Structure 1
Amino acid sequence: MTVGEEGKNAARRDPAPASGRAVGRDPRRWVILAAVCVALMVIVVDNTVLHVALPTIEDDLGAGPAQLQATVNSYVVVFAGLLVAAGLITDRYGRRRAVVIGLGILVLTSVVAACAPSAPWLIGARTVMGVGAALVMPGTLAILVHTFDAEERVKAFAVWSAVGSAAMAAGPLVGGVLVDRWGWPGIFVINAVLAALAIVLIVRLVPESRDRQHRAVDGAGAAAMTLAMGSFVAAIILAPDHGPLSPQVLGALCLTLLGAAVFGIRQRGAASPMIDTGLYRDRTFVGASAAVAVLAIGTGSVLFVLTQHLQHVKGYSPVEAGLAIVPLAAGVVLGSPIGARLPARIGARWAIVTGFLVTAAGFVVLALLTPTSGYALVATGLFLAGAGSGLASPAVHSTVLGAVPPDRAGMGSALNDTHQQLGIALGVAVLGSVVTTAYHRFADPELGVRPGTSLGNTLSGLSPDHGRLIDAAHTAFTRSQSLAMLICAAFALLGAAIAWRTLTRDHRAAPRE
């Protein structure tokens, strides 16, 4: 059965107004898509706009490498940990309502973050931002599932992916302009403005939809899941500073096991479990989900590392660093329209594998960077990484959500986002820790680099007269960065291998009954 035929049959099988799906095509569907994309931009920009501001935050708030990683990951971990519960909330209480409430939380916490007097304050604000983002994200995809039929859904997902990926790549440019003009608090002010605009558009344009079965929401289970994820990421971040067998790391791992155990117990005893484990018996769902999670480990951390290279090694200003990352956005924008057509022509498996291979090539190019490398190498690597993401994203999202029944669209999109966000959090933790540890190992002894010391910390203690030591610090960092980029490439190749092994040869993304 073709995608179009299955979509028409699905529409006939699920015509009930109670589900929130309209019979036939909604004449406002493309305007609704635009409103949803604005909401998506808010949560994506909220994360990526931060990267170019990290060196400034490091200087202004005296934050060390672990605190910088925590500033990024506090948002991502809470986001990932609450996504499944948030998906159930959107299914039960209404997708539009959940998105509006989540955006409201983002408005308030962005204002609080802009006023942060210290790194712990900023980390706390970012943590609560993750709650708001978790409420918004599942609703955006679920709204599209209930607005577009199967024939147009891949196109809608392609637009959704392109906007999200372009916002991810453009965030550093916007952040650079704002940091230069208003300092790092400006990145949170613009986020509050965008979130307020998105609230107005969603309220005026998007119809309400919900799950007819009204499944229960397990708050304790969601908290346990978030505890497990957050503690595991914290253990990775703390290891370079304190050692892998330190009380801090071992304590975090114990909390990880405790959270996982509590979540497992509640899942087994629940009349309506948070996660539909039956989805994990679906080879297509598992394969595509695992592939995108593995890829996200690399793609989610590349800007965290590269912005430090651009500003500390190459001496770029925040605006210049943001401009330097534009090729990533260009690759995504040019790759996404092609990626939207690839599943119908060569199958989802080949579309995903092709995109992942292109992304891996981009990471290999970035691994060639040295302190004296020209910008052309940076631009080429970023463009390839972005193009690969654009080629693969439409097929990945369509494949994952095509394995989920329409009434569980919120839960399905939440699981899809959870896998991706957990990959990003692990990427920032793992790759950030790799760079920190390797920098300590590669550094010239005269630099006196201690465990947990960043390149920014080292340079702040050197004067322009210490030219040889500055060059040595730059060399140690770029060697560390190259190791991290090769690991990113390895994860992209692993994702391609997973997709190749798990998806059927002629698979086409189609909704499941």
Structure 2
Amino acid sequence: MTGHPRRWAILGVLVVSLLVVVLDNTVLNVALGVIADPVHGLGATQGELEWSINSYTLVFAGLLFTAGVLGDRLGRRRVLMVSLALFGISSLVSAYAQDPTQLIVARALMGIGGAGVMPATLSIISNVFDPRERGKAIGVWAGAVGLAVAIGPIVAGLLLERFWWGSVFLINVPIVVVGLVAIALLVPESKDPHPGRIDLVGVGLSIVGLVLFVYGIIDGGEHGFDRPRAWGTIAVGALVIAAFVWFESRLKNPSLDVRLFRNPAFSAAVSAVGLVFFAMMGTLFFSVFYLQLVRGYTPLQTGLMMLPFAVAQLLLAPRSASFVRRFGPRAVCATGLALVTASLVGMVFLEADTPLWVLGVLFFVQGAGMANVMPPATESVMSTLPREKAGVGSAVSNTIRQLGGSLGVAVLGSVLAASYRGGMEDTVAGLPEPVRHAASESIAGAYGVAGALGPAGRSLIAPANAAFVDAMHLAAGVAAVFAVFATAVVLAWMPRRSAAHPPAAETGVSAAPEPVGANQG
């Protein structure tokens, strides 16, 4: 068997489909400052900005498994085309959103589309490539993620320099159209003759529980955790998540195989992935406001400042596999987490006038750390599970990565908002009520109020910058604590050396056949 005759052209089409989905998240981060602007953007509050990110990632993570099963059942090419079309349409709606609520809803629809694209592309790769070439093809597919991280901030900066904020979403539309035509012409249809069942109850419980949990965290950050609506929503969300775990543990074909977490090595690897994305997404969230407002840089300059992170990823990620072979997954992953921790500790000491080369070094160190967390964690997932569970284990890892990033934005964003609001209390006490709330809500709101008040509002800028920098120090410190915890987990439970795929009896999970469609990379 040599695979499909057009397999490399098909791979190119699939990479473009994945690229547009991943690119969207990186360009959004750079656009947050503009979207928060009440004049040039939507005047979104910090909580609304957090939801513009999390509405996508929560839906994406919740539907990832179900989308894979739908592809196996209905046809992978069909699901890929429908998902990509939905992603393009919702990108168009996002570009022309008239208020933050419309943007949040449109982003949730984009999450549905993105959830269908990722597993479908991997399933098609497995179908058209011979096993001897499949590893190389998946490596190219994974490299598209690194490419998107590298070019996303620059693309966003260039667009925002010349066009309005919606252009960062509108650019997806022509790429999607080209992708749909290419898929229709090149990609063959494929189905699984024995598709798995769709776990609708599990999907519903996971999304409801996570949305309630994250909503409570964001609401508490905006308005205080002493209110019943905040802690009550968090508690109800946690109960629903517990019900989801209980329900999934009783199913033969669950949407999330929680039984895999009985394996300590698997749990350690997946926890490392989730916690490192928790720290990364949270710090990127506040770094944009630090650069664009406190430091006064344009979106393009902000994008260029994030390049060291992407460069470190592109340089070191391809080499990390050889580090794992030489030093073992535990040592490499722990070293990577230590680098991430060091970068976060460095951010605790950033000030409004810190030389920018220092921030560039911190971004590079963080990128280098992440480049040496993902490969050993993924290798550990694969080597500690039986072969029939490798696909679903990888899909679980990908889901936890999305959830970690979403919770990072919610938790660190809430820490940032609460600290900033406390730091601005005395400064805004003498302002009229309508503008007092806006100025204490976020640093973008303070800048908007200062602009509206004219010369009288200039006195707001310095206190707002100081309150934000102090809040950023606290958020970075919290992220560093999570990174230290992840390092401890890895040192305690991740295997020192790679192991061959063990039999099912060694993993604490059943050797039942892997749920079809779970091989989502």
Q: Secondary structure at the match of 2:110?
A: helix
Provide, for residues 293-345 of structure 1, a one-character-per-residue CA deviation record: whole Å limited to 9, x for no partner: 11111011222110001111111111111122111111111111211322222
Question: Relative to structure 1, is the Cα distance of residues 150 and 359 closer, same or farther in structure 2, using a 3 angstrom cutoff?
Answer: farther
Aligned equivalents of 1:398, 1:94: Cα separation in 2 = 30
Per the alignment, residue 37 of structure 1 pairs with 15
Per the alignment, residue 119 of structure 1 pairs with 100
Kindly provide the amino acid, as one letter, of the partner of residue 53 in structure 1.
A
Alignment of 1:309-320 (within 5 A): 309-320=290-301
Conservation of the 8 A alpha-carbon contact between 1:139 and 1:410: no
> Does structure 1 residue 46 correspond to structure 2 residue 29?
no
Aligned equivalents of 1:188, 1:224: Cα separation in 2 = 30
Pick one of 424, 440, 459 that aligns with 1:443.
424
TM-superposed CA distance for 1:35, in Å, is 3.5
Paired residues in the alignment total 491
Moved more, 207-216 or 349-358: 207-216
Moved more, 477-486 or 386-395: 386-395
Per the alignment, residue 473 of structure 1 pairs with 464
Moved more, 318-327 or 154-163: 154-163
> Does structure 1 residue 500 correspond to structure 2 residue 491?
yes
Question: Relative to structure 1, is the Cα distance of residues 232 and 358 closer, same or farther in structure 2, using a 3 angstrom cutoff?
Answer: same
Per the alignment, residue 378 of structure 1 pairs with 359
Aligned equivalents of 1:273, 1:296: Cα separation in 2 = 25
Per the alignment, residue 508 of structure 2 pairs with none
Alignment of 1:8-407 (within 5 A): 23=1, 31-58=9-36, 59=38, 60-143=41-124, 158-206=139-187, 211=192, 213-253=194-234, 255-257=236-238, 259-260=240-241, 263-264=244-245, 266-267=247-248, 270=251, 272-402=253-383
Per the alignment, residue 20 of structure 1 pairs with none
Aligned equivalents of 1:399, 1:32: Cα separation in 2 = 30
Question: Relative to structure 1, is the Cα distance of residues 211 and 285 closer, same or farther in structure 2, using a 3 angstrom cutoff?
Answer: farther
Question: Relative to structure 1, is the Cα distance of residues 339 and 194 closer, same or farther in structure 2, using a 3 angstrom cutoff?
Answer: farther
Q: Secondary structure at the match of 1:61?
A: coil
Pick one of 404, 409, 428 that aligns with 1:423.
404
Question: Relative to structure 1, is the Cα distance of residues 512 and 348 closer, same or farther in structure 2, using a 3 angstrom cutoff?
Answer: farther
Q: Secondary structure at the match of 1:300?
A: helix
Provide, for residues 387-439 of structure 1, a one-character-per-residue CA deviation record: whole Å limited to 9, x for no partner: 22222222323333455666666644432221001101100000101111111
Identity of aligned residues (%): 35
Kindly provide the amino acid, as one letter, of the partner of residue 489 in structure 1.
A
TM-superposed CA distance for 1:483, in Å, is 1.8
Kindly provide the amino acid, as one letter, of the partner of residue 171 in structure 1.
G
Q: Secondary structure at the match of 1:234?
A: helix
Conservation of the 8 A alpha-carbon contact between 1:86 and 1:138: yes
CA root-mean-square deviation = 3.0
Aligned equivalents of 2:69, 2:389: Cα separation in 1 = 8
Kindly provide the amino acid, as one letter, of the partner of residue 395 in structure 2.
A
TM-superposed CA distance for 1:494, in Å, is 2.3
TM-superposed CA distance for 1:352, in Å, is 1.8
Aligned equivalents of 1:401, 1:478: Cα separation in 2 = 41
TM-superposed CA distance for 1:143, in Å, is 4.6
Per the alignment, residue 477 of structure 2 pairs with 486
Moved more, 116-125 or 463-472: 463-472
* Structure 1 gap ranges (5+): 1-22
Aligned equivalents of 1:314, 1:295: Cα separation in 2 = 26
TM-superposed CA distance for 1:285, in Å, is 2.2
Aligned equivalents of 2:157, 2:248: Cα separation in 1 = 44
Question: Relative to structure 1, is the Cα distance of residues 444 and 471 closer, same or farther in structure 2, using a 3 angstrom cutoff?
Answer: farther
Per the alignment, residue 11 of structure 1 pairs with none
TM-superposed CA distance for 1:48, in Å, is 2.0
Conservation of the 8 A alpha-carbon contact between 1:395 and 1:509: no
Per the alignment, residue 513 of structure 2 pairs with none
Q: Secondary structure at the match of 2:171?
A: helix
Tell me the TM-score normalised to structure 1 length: 0.86
Conservation of the 8 A alpha-carbon contact between 1:289 and 1:400: yes
Per the alignment, residue 18 of structure 1 pairs with none
TM-superposed CA distance for 1:455, in Å, is 0.5
TM-superposed CA distance for 1:150, in Å, is 7.9
